Structure 1
């Protein structure tokens, strides 16, 4: 059935960004003109288009001085399908960070690299260097398909993992922008040598008849206006949730037969985590099961889903523009029916899958072909040298000496692979000399499973700290757990400086989302496997109140958990009402502060008690429950304020 695609612009007035894209001549102007100007920054229209080229204009807020121009700088983000970083590219990025950036690299939670601190005058050189060294930044940001993720584990004896890598690369190629603007602006029209596209991908990009292709366009899949918002894709294997598959716009799950041969893919769609505080119409959402597709039809199905979002996604309100809102508004059945129109035939039912679990692939492991791989934990994804901790030096030396390829992980770690057994000692000696732990069992578990976004000082969206704050937050959490007899406990903690959710806090067992300076919204109840959404427990927690806030929750967890139950599963099972009721009446033991009589016995611990009228007590309890705070806190605050007013 031939279907003509509706206009990409909705009947409602499109947002300003839609007009910028329309006038840009496929991402060329005004970037092409302004990159030649001797200025420190771009204007607003160019900033929006610059994202498609892989860069965000930022300023270092630590350096803001009233009355002076902002300290403008640029973040560059690479696009690395399935996290692949060839040795040549890694060395180029390491050198660029030293010469033009802030001397660090940041592994992203989408398996790419970010480089911060680049000045406008050096931006063209930096992008050109990346492209000439087998990399790209095209489409790492912007309203189009972002980096396609896949499990980073290099298991050569498990064909499903190899298929995941292959199809992540092919879908990245299929959905890559076709405009010549990128090479015209950053390489003066010279198209760098890159890996050959699969013939099936080339054919699929042009194949039409059902409305997926926009004819006579420089962008046959995207058209003049590209996508309504960013579009995130991953490919994984049954049981492997290292990619946070439920948080993606589109997830393909490799399905093989008993001989390990690829047969097709299960398809999820409609996940997404970005939201806005105090805007109930924005929300985090898990992806839905959509269908199964045979391998020969997978590219046409991907195009059909992209075309559905391209043509029916909301282009008037960017807060409502992601695929998750379209599916939420329509329902899965209507969405599936529309996808079938673009696909040209009915889709097959979703096939059963095993339970998904999280893995991080750290430490030394066999890759199945006689060689080894090594997963190295990178705290908060920041590759840097600091004191005796010389991670950046270690990674560079390993690549220089052994020419090893890298896979970046969705948990912002690094994997070296294809390591010959006789090279293990060389790698280990470099790590030991540079103070890098290779045994994941020696890493504090709270740190190992935590993630934080960069936030301040460079991210323009950050409300408060994240990467710089989370080490101290984790220390406080560990001290609280130890204090309350939970020494062996750990759980998934994630933190972001704003509600956009780049470190995926809404999937965490304990999530912190920046809501005000030095304050966070707290989310509880995600699962250790990241297969269930957390829920907001309190809207605003100042970091100074962290311990008094968490202690009663941890005490309740210890008292009422089931055998082997994780913290996130406990919070989900008992529910927030039960947690609030316990914390509202929780009274920690406090030391007696009155003068102690001299005695050979240890001083007893006592609580200072006061009596309240029943009416006051019930009102206090209700207030404490609604605010998610212990009654003791409210009483202390109220009395402190009252006593300060006394003469």
Structure 2
């Protein structure tokens, strides 16, 4: 450990493998908050302490403490949940949460608005259906992502199994989660103990992310991850994975030494060695990562500090063999394909656009109720995508018309009036009112902005032109704004930085175009750009490629020149 460890490193070191004083915090009924140190530790258990920022001023005026509540992030390795699991999450959101479910950009569930007194009951509730929140957050490997659509490749099941194997292998071993929330009853196949053979006593310097993709689809944005794995198949057989390392999208305003970075491709690993490879990369970051300043603690900064050749040499040494050169592949898209599809087994799959990833009921739009009804009889899966959407997968032929009828009856069947391709390709983080990092709105505001942008889109005949637009309330990058052909990053209430020029397949970062724009400014800047694109694009040319070809922004070739 560094001679000057950060506050979080000190807390982890003294935590007794993530226990801290969480028991005492939960038992303190005087406040809705946890002890300060425990707010760091509870992240490893899958939860963040939050406040309702909309109410902060009024509660302060009334001399009340902020309205504390907790977000719980439930892991879904590979994005595949069963119908009973979906139904339980729905029930818990109503009983203990704010009545909604958030589908995240990492294929996980989030429950919001859970009070401290209900944390244990909520966590026990989803563990009863074999879901958990351990390592949903914190300085460990997070939810492992995987292409979610089973019809897209003959090797999908093998890739999914690799994702779940990686997730299980890198799950923390501490028994603290089971003691604190489940009365010591361990419900996992991973052996637990009060030691961490992979992570060590202080875990990783920062969060760690892994994703697996199956070309030509990059719908999990693998290059935004610490480890990105590209499935290589031959004649329906999974050979292994191309390996990319060092991705991550967070940065800090006013600190150009922080930057988003895409992962570097370093070679190929056979399928039977991919779990070992992930472990060795994690251990290098454990040993080499910056533990003094958390702003520089991600793997991307470790690699840029020591140099990629040095990192690769260390990885080869820890593996005991050299990675062979990467195999050829091609990505064409990082978006989801909506609507019905089928497979050779006679099963159907339905991909639904979920605006902002929010599962809820609104007047005339009963999505949550409809999905709950479907879960009562659906024998297949509920698959969460990396783009905050939902796939009803492996639908029996006899259930197809019934599912469509239920969605139509509740006003939740995909229509064409609002769902332009721009809207379907939109992502937004939670931001205000609960995220403590947010400077501006995102999920609550983007639909309103899209209403106005769609007028421009339709005027210029671009309703079906797939343009990636992503909005976040801060520069941390949870909705991957730096991989949006149009990226909007909140800098102050109602003000956003506008980024342009990422590519549609998720293989190039965008670049800053204008700063501190309000809504009028966003529309003023984008309207002529979209008009020019409609009039002057080449055949099949994507918007991100167009703005670079026309010189509106320069291409970002590496994170180190993102700010140039």
Task: Compute the TM-score of the two structures, normalised by the length of structure 2.
Answer: 0.94
Q: 1:577 to 1:135 in 2, by over 3 A?
A: closer
- With over 3 angstroms needed to count, the CA separation of the structure-2 counterparts of 1:481 and 1:426, relative to structure 1, is closer
Kindly provide the CA deviation profile for residues 259-299 of structure 1, in whole angstroms up to 9, marking residues without a partner as x: x2332221111111011111101101111001111223222
Structure-2 residue corresponding to 1:40: 32
Residue 558 of structure 2 is matched in structure 1 by none
Structure 2 CA distance, aligned partners of 1:576 and 1:34? 53
Q: Does 1:429 align with 2:405?
A: yes
Superposition pairs of residues 336-351 of structure 1, within 5 angstroms:
336-351=312-327
1:243 maps onto 2:230 in alignment: no
Contact 1:79 1:140 in 2 (8 A): yes
Matches within 5 A, 1:209-288: 218-258=195-235, 260-288=236-264
| Structure 1 residue ranges without an equivalent (≥5) | 1-8, 206-215, 580-647
Separation in 2 of the partners of 1:470 and 1:269?
31
Shift of 1:573: 1.6
Distance of aligned partners of 1:121 and 1:551 in 2 relative to their CA distance in 1, 3 Å threshold: same
Alignment partner of 1:59 out of 45, 51, 55: 51
Measured after TM superposition, the shift of residue 438 of structure 1 is 3.9
Q: Distance in 2 between matches of 1:488 and 1:23?
A: 55
SS at 1:402 equivalent: coil
Is residue 225–residue 247 contact of structure 2 (8 Å, CA) maintained in 1? yes
Residue equivalent to 1:125: 121
Q: Which residue of 2 aligns with 1:114?
A: 110
Q: Does 1:179 align with 2:156?
A: no
| Secondary structure at 1:454 match in 2 | coil
What runs of 5+ residues in structure 2 fail to find an aligned partner? 556-564
Mean alpha-carbon deviation: is it higher for 405-414 or for 570-579?
570-579
8 A Cα contact 1:381 1:413, kept in partner = yes
- 3-state SS of 2:110 partner: strand
What is the Cα deviation at residue 439 of structure 1? 6.4
SS in structure 2 at match of 1:62? coil
Kept after mapping to 2: 8 A contact 1:356/1:531: no
Map of 1:143 onto structure 2: 139
**Paired position in structure 1 for 2:490:** 514
Q: Quick check: 1:152 aligned with 2:129?
A: no
How far 1:357 sits from its partner (Å)?
A: 2.3
Cα distance in 2 between the residues matched to 1:486 and 1:359:
17
> 1:433 and 1:484 mapped to 2: Cα distance?
33
Contact 2:511 2:553 in 1 (8 A): no
Q: Which of structure 1's runs of 4+ aligned residues deviate more than 6 A?
A: 439-442
1:399 aligns with 2:375: yes
Match of 1:87 in 2: 83
| More displaced 10-residue stretch of structure 1: 70-79 or 409-418 | 409-418
Match of 1:71 in 2: 67
Q: In the alignment, which of 72, 92, 96 is matched to residue 96 of structure 1?
A: 92
Q: Distance in 1 between matches of 2:511 and 2:153?
A: 36
Give the Cα separation in 2 of the matches to 1:483 and 1:353: 37
* 2:205–2:291 Cα contact (<8 Å) kept: yes
| 2:23 counterpart of 1:23 | no
| CA deviation after TM superposition for structure 1 residue 403, in Å | 4.2
Match of 2:344 in 1: 368
> Aligned with 1:548: secondary structure?
helix
- SS where residue 117 of structure 2 aligns? helix
Structure 1 residue 464 displacement after superposition: 0.6
How many angstroms apart in 2 are the aligned matches of 1:514 and 1:433? Answer: 37
Cα deviations across residues 440-497 of structure 1 (Å, max 9, x unaligned)? 7982222111011111001111101001110111122122334456565451110000
| Number of aligned positions between the proteins | 550
Change (3 A) 1:441 1:543: closer
TM-superposed deviation, 1:31: 1.3
- Equivalent positions of 1:7-18 (< 5 A) are 9-10=1-2, 12-18=3-9
Offset at residue 32 of structure 1 (A): 2.5
Structure 1-normalised TM-score? 0.82
Q: What is the rounded CA distance, in whole Å, between the counterparts of 2:255 and 2:344 in structure 1?
A: 49
Change (3 A) 1:323 1:577: closer
Which shows bigger deviation, 548-557 or 146-155? 548-557
CA distance in 1, matches of 2:146, 2:449: 30
Task: For 2:104 and 2:185, locate their aligned partners in 1 and report how far apart those are by CA, in whole Å.
Answer: 28
Deviation at 1:546, TM superposition (A): 2.3
Q: Distance in 1 between matches of 2:553 and 2:403?
A: 51
For the residues of structure 2 that align with 1:333 and 1:578, how far apart are their CA atoms? Answer: 27
Indicate if the aligned counterparts of 2:475 and 2:489 stay in contact, CA closer than 8 A: yes
Q: 1:328 to 1:374 in 2, by over 3 A?
A: same
3-state SS of paired residue (1:401): coil
Q: Could you tell me how far 1:545 is from its partner in structure 2? A: 2.3
Three-state SS of the structure 2 residue aligned to 1:264 is strand
> Structure 2 vs 1, CA of residues 333 and 384 (structure 1 numbering), >3 Å: closer, same or farther?
same
Residue 24 of structure 1: how far off its partner (Å)? 0.3
Q: 2:297 corresponds to which residue?
A: 321
Q: Distance in 2 between matches of 1:34 and 1:435?
A: 44
CA-based RMSD of the aligned residues comes to: 2.0
When residues 346 and 437 of structure 1 are mapped into structure 2, their CA distance, relative to the original with a 3 A threshold, is same
**Is the Cα contact below 8 Å between 2:105 and 2:479 reproduced in 1?**
yes
Deviates more, 1:338-347 or 1:113-122: 338-347
Whole-angstrom distance in 2 between the partners of 1:462 and 1:154 = 35
SS at match of 2:5: coil
Larger radius of gyration: 1
Q: Which residue of 2 aligns with 1:165?
A: 160
